[in-house]
Amino acid sequence: MAAHPHRTEDLQQASFLIILAVVSLLMAVIVYPFAQPLLWAALAAIMFQPLYRTILRRLRGRRNPAAGLSLLVIFILVLVPFGWIATMVIEQAIMLVATLQKQPLDLAAWFDTFYTALPEIARDAVDRSGWADITMIQTRLQEFLTQSAGMIATQAVTIGSEALGFILSFGVALYVMFFLLRDGERIGRTVLCAVPVERSIADRLAERFLGIVRATIKGTGVVALVQGTLGWITLMIAGVPSALLFGVVMAIFALVPVIGSGAVWVPAGIWLLISGATWQGLFVLLTGFFIISSADNVLRPILVGRDTGIPDWIILITTLGGISLVGFSGIVLGPLVAGLFLASWSILREQREEDEEASRQDDIRVDASGHTPDAVTTVG
């Protein structure tokens, strides 16, 4: 008869866990439309937590004014410039496509200039490969430009029709960011206490997560912004049209390992050389090689301070996978998931090593006492 209360308690506990799982799933479904704004709000709150603490000290512990002032600083110094740059990039993209439609690129002339400069052996190889016929490439390029113009127009209409949704998501992100700045530490402690794992493991995961966020945003995002800015200035000096647009594209490519910002400045420099702008092309290539590419090696150790331990090939795969799954947010979400995956397995390995070390220490103590574990139990 004594076993029945235990079975009842087990049934009640199982029922509670089922209810908890169902309610959590429903909560995830409800907030899913705002998943990306919530993600960016959380990441921004983590990154700007030092700013909030500094303002909080200046305001003598008044949390609401400190969070509000921090949000105002973030809005003025980060969001307003970002909005201005996005507007300028869209305008330059539209102007570039319109210009290329009116004045198509003469690939044949460029190819003839490049082809003539090649040695005879290289020209024979090009002839055998079939690349000497540039007409097909020219036709495909014009078709691509026509499709691009239509795509930009379609996206402009889509953005206009979804402006209300964007404003709502942006407002939700700012609103949530206010409370995460103000109560982020307390929320973090509450989550760590509620997570059904050992507290030491939860603390380690939280520490690794914060380190991965810092490395991903500061060590990758800031470096990409610096490289994009340097690329924009370089292309502007060289007289490349729509330099801001290409600078932003360079910053985006800089976020992806292996590819990097060279995917923009290398073709730009070669294009300038082929088109006859010799010093401009050399300037772009030399600046890209010695300054833009070196920004990563110089800034990353300063901003991050230590390596995250995530191999570049994993970052590349998870970044591309994240982009295909959730769009632009995948640039950050993919490496974060990869970092947490590796950190979780690393913590498991550390736990097993600690358990094995503790077992060895117990064996050493038993051997030093001159008793076997069974003998010790018998004596006790």
CA neighbor of 231 nearest in space, from 202, 208, 263, 200: 263
Dist CA 320 CA 191 (whole Å) = 30
Enumerate residues 6+ apart whose C-beta is below 8 A from 278: 272
Q: What is the dihedral of CA 276, 109, 132, 105, to 10 degrees?
A: 100
Residue 86 has pLDDT above 60, yes or no: yes
**37-54 pLDDT, tens per residue?**
888 888 888 889 889 999
Q: Taking the chain, what is the end-to-end CA distance rounded to the nearest angstrom?
A: 33
Distance CA 333, CA 319 (A): 8
Mean of pLDDT values over 138-159: 55
Asked whether the predicted pLDDT for residue 245 surpasses 80, the reply is yes
pLDDT, position 217: 79
pLDDT number for residue 155: 54
Q: What is the pLDDT of residue 308?
A: 56
Q: What is the mean pLDDT of residues 93-115?
A: 66
Cα–Cα distances (Å) from 232 to 97, 285, 292, in that order, read: 19, 13, 11
Domain ranges of the chain: 34-194, 196-380
pLDDT above 60: residue 305? no
CB-based contact 287:225 (threshold 8 Å)? no
Q: At what angle do helices 163-194 and 35-47 cross, to 10 degrees?
A: 60
Contact between residue 250 and residue 231 where contact means Cβ atoms under 8 Å apart: yes
Provide the pLDDT confidence category of residue 380 given band limits of 50, 70 and 90.
very low
Q: Residue 189: what pLDDT?
A: 82
Quote the pLDDT of residue 375: 46
Look over the chain and give the mean of its residue pLDDT values, rounded to a whole number. Answer: 78
Percent of the chain predicted with pLDDT > 70: 75
Q: What is the pLDDT of residues 176-227, one digit of tens each?
A: 999 999 988 888 888 778 777 777 777 888 888 887 887 777 777 888 889 9
The pair phi, psi for residue 256, each rounded to 5°, is: -100, 120
Query: What would the two tokens of residue 187 be?
Result: 């929320």
Total residue length of the chain: 380
b/e code 314-331 from CB counts within 10 Å (16+ = b): bbbebbbebbeebeebbb
| pLDDT level of residue 235 (50, 70, 90 thresholds) | very high
